[in-house]
Amino acid sequence: MQPYSTPFYFVILGLALIPIVIAQLLGKKLMWYQVLLTIAFLWLTFSGTVTIWALIGFGVFQTIIVKFYEWYRVKQNKNQSFVFYLIILLSILPLVIVKVHPLFNPGPGPGSILGFLGISYISFKTVAMIMEIRDGLIKAVPLKEFLYFLYFYPTISSGPIDRFRRFVKELKAPVVTEKYLDLLNKGVFRIFQGFLYKFIIGYLIDQYWLHGIAISATIHPSFLNVSSSMYAYGLYLFFDFAGYSLFAIGVSNLMGYDLPHNFNKPFLAKNIHDFWQRWHMTLSFWFRDFVFMRLVKTFMVKKWSKNMITISNVGYLANMLLMGFWHGLTWYYILYGFYHAMLMIGYDAWKRLKKRKNWKIPDNKWTSAISIFITFNLVFISFLIFSGIPNHIIMPVSYTHLTLPTKA
């Protein structure tokens, strides 16, 4: 059963969460029940398919890798780059195999036997942990805390992507009734907000706008049809994915955890950097911290270039292209990443030009509105690319099989 996909799922989940809510109100975490609930819902989500064994095998594999690197880095106090990169490679290897598999087995057949719902997000967790172990930020990886963090079921399918240190700090903190009451109120509100976003607004956009106009755009790709499908898809993407994220965060709140958020009014962004501070934030911050910043640091330490503009631009390209490849090995996902890298490079160039020419552009509600309008439309062009609609225009498919991605 897909998490947060049907009312029946919420009925089961709501009933299962009652003991945790009561325990939290009484100042208890009831960890044994949380673990039991995690196992039950993982079984509910993955049982009956080969993916349950992929999930278990992946967890065992990642546990061995992380615990070995903890022993090597912390207990043995060693820090060879070769070992670090080898461990990172091994950690992402299952994800790489799953992503590459469709290239060798095209068509609607089954995916890789290593694949399961959420493999990307769990992989991000372990890669971040390995990097922070190397940095000395993580001193110990207790097995029970690691497994609970890895398999935390409210977020396992599509995030938000949490950090081990933040999660464990909250896991070990005593229950404060007043704080939990606040979390409980926020959790209930976020779940109902998620229902509004995903099952009402998202559904209405999909059924009464997106589905029809996307088909029209592929059959008759006029400017009006394509632009309309672009806005329809962009809005559907936000409400569907933001709704899911609100469910995951809201359920976590009911369990006593205040997870990082994924969205913060992204369509009010004034520039492309501001947008990525608001859109799918846990993914954006993950790529910023563990790809972009580390690549820039490597360039500077190795002195591969003394030009900070060049270093920054290469970082943008590598970061966003990798994000595009992560979404899938298709030309439009890769173009989506490249397009966003060009937007970032272009915006930085614009800032340098303003400074060099000493242009005094006023900062008021009118210039803010223009900035938001420009950013909004540039971002929605990227959503059109990401949707695959241009691909369907170039290579038409039966419109009964037209499917669009729901997470970016």
Largest Cα separation within the chain, whole Å, is 65
Structure tokens at 75: 């207990």
For the stretch 387-396, what's the b/e string if a residue is b when 16 or more beta carbons lie within 10 angstroms of its beta carbon?
bbbbbbbeee
**Helices (runs of H) and strands (runs of E) counted in the chain:** 18, 0
DSSP structural state of residue 256:
T
Say how far residue 91 (Cα) sits from the centre of its chain.
18
* CB neighbour class for 136 (10 Å; exposed up to 12, middle 13-18, buried from 19): exposed
Nearest to residue 280, comparing CAs of 293, 299, 261, 294?
Answer: 261
- Residue ranges of alpha helices (H) inside 263-330 are 272-276, 281-287, 293-302, 308-327
Whether 327 sits among the annotated catalytic residues: the reply is yes
For the stretch 330-354, what's the b/e string if a residue is b when 16 or more beta carbons lie within 10 angstroms of its beta carbon?
bebbbbbbbbbbebbbebbeeeeee
Torsion region of 107: left, alpha or beta (phi above 0 gives left; psi -120 to 50 gives alpha): left
Side chain identity at residue 20, one-letter code? I
Decide: 289 and 223 in contact? Cβ < 8 Å: no
Torsion region of 226: left, alpha or beta (phi above 0 gives left; psi -120 to 50 gives alpha): alpha
- Residue ranges of alpha helices (H) inside 119-222 are 119-135, 143-150, 164-172, 177-194, 202-205, 211-219
Catalytic residue among 280, 327, 340, 392: 327
First to last CA, the chain: 22
Catalytic residues, by residue number, are: 327
